[in-house]
Structure 1
Amino acid sequence: MADTPVNAEAEHSVKPTPIVPPSNIAGQALSLVIAIMSFLACLTVGAVLMIDKSASSWQSQISREATVQIRPARDFDIETALVEAQAIAASFDGVTDARIIGLSQTATLLEPWLGKDINLSELPVPRLVVIRIDERNPPDFKAIGAAINEAIPNATLDDHRAWVDRLVSMANTTTYVGVAILLLVLTALVLTVVFATRGALASNHIIIEVLHFVGARANFIAGQFQRRFFWIGLRGALIGGGAAIAMFLIFQFWAGRNLTTAEGVQVAVLFGDFSIGMGIFIGTFFVIALVAALTTLTARLTVVRTIYEIDEQRADPSRQSY
């Protein structure tokens, strides 16, 4: 009996079934989980960058100035003492300017606590002289403080070093906490991908075992899974990163509209103006790339490990389950 000719067109019209059918992996659910964790990771990176930027700004502003505080006392001409302290401070090398804070400016500084229209002449309020410092050639603060104390016993020099040290400590602590949170989020991501990959392997275990038995290499089988999981991870990371950028833009818009209010000023002092700089975009791109790479690598390692366990069970019949 003659062989029946094969219809080449019909043969090519049949598409091969993928080793990892999309329906066998809860791709949407996994993408949603990855998107949520990527969103949290991007928020953490952005928040750390903004706090670090604000801390650097605070530190720079504080290190550029020092303050002479003169306390009022009975039978003490504080106005003359202010002028004398200004002259002493301005005479030192490294001091670019010495400025007396007037009564109106002092009242403005105290307004949040004492209210408006206060009469400072009736209150024992200390007066200030602000000294602007050359950052490249700072003065000898001990010498300035000693000279001012010798001339004006009621005066003290504050070079803000204690504030700078506390500020640096707070910024470093915040950075460490942010990095720890980021590591926890990425660890949760890896564990999620591991369980999802094992679930996909369980539903395709027979197919994978047969393919491996007839000669399909572990790299080939793992490649099918890692491509699938790469697109799942990339899609989730893009959604989470895009949502984080949108959140920062919303905060920036809110800060721009409410910067003149008391709440806006306090938020701006703590976290800056929520401006979206290149650092946040670079950090978000890094998180997206890292999440996609971790998803792909974790899927591959999990598949290779599972195939290795299959080989061990085949080599040791006592470990096979019936």
Structure 2
Amino acid sequence: MSEVHSPTQGAARVAPSTTEPPLPVNLRRNAPLVPTDSAASRALAAVIAILTFLAALCAGAAEIAVSSAGQWQSSVAQEVTVQIRPGAGRDIEADVKRAESLARAAPGIASARVFSKGESERLLEPWLGSGLDLSDLPVPRLIALTLSSDGQPDLKALRTTLTEALPGVASLDDHALWLQRLSTMANTFAGIGIGIVVLVLLAAGLAVVFATRGAMAGNREVVEVLHFVGADDDYIAKAFQSRFFRLGLRGGAFGAGAALLTCALAGLLARMSRSGPTGEEIEALFGTFQISWRGYAMIVFIGVIASLVTAAVSRVTVRRFLR
């Protein structure tokens, strides 16, 4: 009798006994084009976080300086000073009372405070030192005038009135020079802060350029295969852009978060030490050391900008590399 072979038995004898080797990891379908967790990626995220932290701190410091300068300007603009100089054959006390009465009668003046002779002499101690006998010196007397917030006082008319009533003796200082210097200082701090932020973002962009070119060089074979199967440059650039955007977003979030925490802790420490003499000096120089909501929004915005710069620079770098 002849043997009858089933189709399945024939197929079993024809089937190869060995299996094909698996594809490399970087060529599998579920593997990303750019490695998602590598030493270079973690280093780049750390660099972006550090640069974002420094840029955010610079922006926060510039905001504190501008805010403090605004507070100083507001405080200085609320007061003007009348100076009464001693003259030969004149009674300085009578001149002071006359100038005080004229100032109080002027519209827009809320209050007037006359500095005594001892207080006027103590104002010279930062320049002349303490312990000196200034009784024989013709030290001018000062009258501090507080402006009313209801209306705008006519300081030009008050200056004219004082000059006509006490010629060569009384003069009015509206602190315009100090206000101009404060405005210049605030604008300078703001410009320096913006310049540092731009430089830090440029440094982050350069770091992304080198990281992107390194990633492209390490995945050259994958890119060639993608070109061979019909993938265009835009598809490849989007893959790199997406990966580096996530890296930039992670680094920017860590850097901005650290800057927000640092500013919050600095404000808390300033409030805790405000009762001591050191806290009073810090408050006199920097105000309350509090960042407004604009400062916090600026820090968050810098973190977002860092991630956007990372994505844009990586895309441009990839397209130039592919060309």
Q: Tell me if TM exceeds 0.5.
A: yes
CA contact (8 A) 1:98 1:130 kept: yes
Q: In structure 2, give the amino acid aligned to 1:168.
A: S
Residues 115 and 260 (structure 1 numbering): CA distance in 2 closer, same or farther, change over 3 Å?
farther
Q: In structure 1, give the amino acid aligned to 2:251.
A: G
Deviation at residue 176 of structure 1 after TM alignment: 1.3
Provide the C-alpha distance between the structure 2 equivalents of 1:239 and 1:108, rounded to a whole number of angstroms: 51
Deviates more, 1:290-299 or 1:217-226: 217-226
Residues 170 and 97 (structure 1 numbering): CA distance in 2 closer, same or farther, change over 3 Å?
same
Larger-Rg structure: 2
Aligned to 2:238: 223
Provide the C-alpha distance between the structure 2 equivalents of 1:199 and 1:132, rounded to a whole number of angstroms: 66
Give the superposed CA RMSD. Answer: 2.9
Residue of structure 2 aligned with 1:55, choices 69, 72, 92? 69
Q: In structure 1, give the amino acid aligned to 2:111.
A: D
Unaligned runs of at least 5 residues, structure 2: 1-9, 16-27
Deviation at residue 73 of structure 1 after TM alignment: 4.4
Deviation at residue 219 of structure 1 after TM alignment: 2.9
TM-score (norm 2): 0.81
Residue of structure 1 aligned with 2:286, choices 253, 271, 288? 271
Deviation at residue 272 of structure 1 after TM alignment: 1.9
Unaligned runs of at least 5 residues, structure 1: 5-13, 310-322
CA contact (8 A) 1:149 1:156 kept: yes
Deviates more, 1:155-164 or 1:56-65: 56-65
* TM-superposition CA deviations, 1:14-47 (whole Å, max 9, x none): 9722211235560121112111110111011111
3-state SS in 2 of match to 1:37: helix
Residues 169 and 229 (structure 1 numbering): CA distance in 2 closer, same or farther, change over 3 Å?
same
CA contact (8 A) 1:107 1:118 kept: no
Residue of structure 2 aligned with 1:202, choices 204, 207, 217? 217
CA contact (8 A) 2:245 2:310 kept: yes
Between the aligned residues of both structures, percent identity stands at: 41
Deviation at residue 104 of structure 1 after TM alignment: 6.8
CA contact (8 A) 2:120 2:140 kept: no
Provide the C-alpha distance between the structure 2 equivalents of 1:71 and 1:261, rounded to a whole number of angstroms: 38
Provide the C-alpha distance between the structure 1 equivalents of 2:278 and 2:138, rounded to a whole number of angstroms: 30
Provide the C-alpha distance between the structure 1 equivalents of 2:122 and 2:254, rounded to a whole number of angstroms: 47
3-state SS in 2 of match to 1:98: strand
Q: In structure 2, give the amino acid aligned to 1:41.
A: A
Provide the C-alpha distance between the structure 2 equivalents of 1:126 and 1:59, rounded to a whole number of angstroms: 25
How many residue pairs match? The answer is: 300
Deviates more, 1:126-135 or 1:61-70: 126-135
Aligned to 1:126: 140
Matched, 1:67 2:90: no
Q: In structure 1, give the amino acid aligned to 2:70.
A: S
Deviation at residue 166 of structure 1 after TM alignment: 1.3
Residue of structure 2 aligned with 1:143, choices 157, 164, 170? 157
Provide the C-alpha distance between the structure 1 equivalents of 2:269 and 2:171, rounded to a whole number of angstroms: 41
The equivalences for 1:9-158 within 5 A come to 16-22=30-36, 26-73=40-87, 75-102=89-116, 106=120, 124-134=138-148, 137-152=151-166, 153-158=168-173
Q: In structure 2, give the amino acid aligned to 1:71.
A: R
Residue of structure 2 aligned with 1:171, choices 186, 198, 215? 186
Deviation at residue 66 of structure 1 after TM alignment: 0.7
Q: In structure 1, give the amino acid aligned to 2:141.
A: R
CA contact (8 A) 2:64 2:291 kept: no
Deviation at residue 163 of structure 1 after TM alignment: 0.9
3-state SS in 2 of match to 1:269: helix
Provide the C-alpha distance between the structure 2 equivalents of 1:261 and 1:74, rounded to a whole number of angstroms: 46
* TM-superposition CA deviations, 1:34-63 (whole Å, max 9, x none): 111101110111111111111111111122
Provide the C-alpha distance between the structure 2 equivalents of 1:124 and 1:195, rounded to a whole number of angstroms: 70
Provide the C-alpha distance between the structure 2 equivalents of 1:276 and 1:171, rounded to a whole number of angstroms: 15
CA contact (8 A) 1:24 1:203 kept: no
Residues 276 and 172 (structure 1 numbering): CA distance in 2 closer, same or farther, change over 3 Å?
closer
Q: In structure 2, give the amino acid aligned to 1:295.
A: T
Q: In structure 2, give the amino acid aligned to 1:37.
A: L
CA contact (8 A) 1:55 1:171 kept: yes
